[in-house]
Copies of this chain bind each other. A is one copy, B any other.
Amino acid sequence: MALTVVGSIAFDAVRTPFGERERMLGGAAVHFSLAASFFTEVRPVGPVGDDFGAAEFEVLERRGIATGDIERVEGGRSFFWRGRYDFDLNVAHTEDTQLGVFAEFEPKLSEQARAADTLFLANIQPDLQRRVRSQCEARLSGLDSMNLWIETARDSLLAAIAEVDCLVVNDAEIRQLTGESNLARAARAVMKLGPRVVIAKQGEYGAALFTEGGFFALPGFPLEDVRDPTGAGDSFAGGFFGYLDGQDCDLDEAHLRRAMGYGTVLASFNVEEFGTERIARLSREEIDERFEALRRMTQFEGLSAPAE
């Protein structure tokens, strides 16, 4: 089992009502990889500048992440994002985005990256996603995107979506993509494009899973302390695809539902602290404990666990 993910490997500057960080490790492929690393072998693909140093590589390598496909561009600058969250932590306000070395990124996957069983195309320009997809057959593939690409590269995005098994985006984006306000109808419209699994991320409300004839939903894990939502969706996807890849299983309903649970759990740890701080020192035992708590919180029968 092995998982390849392509996406931003970045520095983030983030301010929330609970604190701020001027320059911390971030990016979709980083959050995804750290979350998936608890379940399987992960290989992120993407460029960084020479500002990306030993300390950053160490965060990944301590979690056993294969960094051979992270391309270090001498003289370049890493992708940089600056944003803030106010009272409503569901809304990110972007203040600055600098593509840096990502502007010239031309993906060339290594042998090992191509041989992965699972491929995740994190949110980047859809033509880039397709160029990665064409290099990696993968038994299971997933894709994330955003409103920017729906608006500016719609045809490319539709082509990219047609080539994956599973679309994982925010529910508002599923509506925007399909022009359908009803989420169940919108998910069905996405399935007509190609994917057989559609996941609607819903921020603090959790996530919903649509398959042909199936539906499953989980609330966000209830937390009294949420400090920084950045990367929650990528951690969700990392937990989801990491678990599935690690199981080497069919995409049956029971495995998909458990994967939703692990996605929810990883996202919940992610938001407890800034950036990668919490996940970087997380243990598999903590994950399994919270998964059990989530299970107890969502079953009709059985006792509930105290909210953490």
Interface residues of A (CB under 8 A from B): 17, 87-89, 181-185, 188, 202, 204-206, 208, 210-211, 213-217, 219, 222-226, 253-254, 257-258, 261, 295, 297-307
B300 touches A257 (CB 8 A): yes
B185 touches A224 (CB 8 A): yes
A259 CB → nearest B CB, Å: 10
| A261 to B214 Cα, complex, angstroms | 18
- 8 Å CB contact of A297 from B181, B185, B217, B224: B217
Given known pairs A206-B217, A217-B298, the reply for A253 and B303 (CB within 8 Å) is yes
| A146 to B124 Cα, complex, angstroms | 42
Contacts of A205 in B (CB 8 A): 202, 205-206
Question: Can you list 10 A-B contacts (CB < 8 A)?
Answer: A182-B225, A184-B222, A185-B224, A202-B205, A205-B205, A206-B219, A219-B219, A253-B303, A254-B302, A298-B300
Given contacts A211-B304, A217-B298, 12 further A-B contacts (CB under 8 A): A89-B181, A183-B204, A184-B222, A202-B205, A205-B205, A206-B219, A214-B305, A219-B219, A253-B304, A257-B299, A257-B301, A258-B300
B223 touches A307 (CB 8 A): no
Contacts of A89 in B (CB 8 A): 181
Identical chains bound together, number:
2
| A253 to B296 Cα, complex, angstroms | 11
- 8 Å CB contact of A300 from B213, B215, B222, B254: B254
| A20 to B227 Cα, complex, angstroms | 44
A254 touches B301 (CB 8 A): yes
- 8 Å CB contact of A217 from B219, B257, B303, B306: B219
- 8 Å CB contact of A219 from B208, B258, B299, B301: B208
| A229 to B219 Cα, complex, angstroms | 21
Residue on B nearest A223 in the bound complex, by CB: B184
Given known pairs A205-B202, A297-B217, A299-B299, the reply for A224 and B184 (CB within 8 Å) is yes
Interface centre among A87, A204, A258, A300, by most B CB within 10 Å?
Answer: A300
A54 CB → nearest B CB, Å: 37
Given known pairs A87-B181, A181-B87, A181-B88, the reply for A261 and B300 (CB within 8 Å) is yes
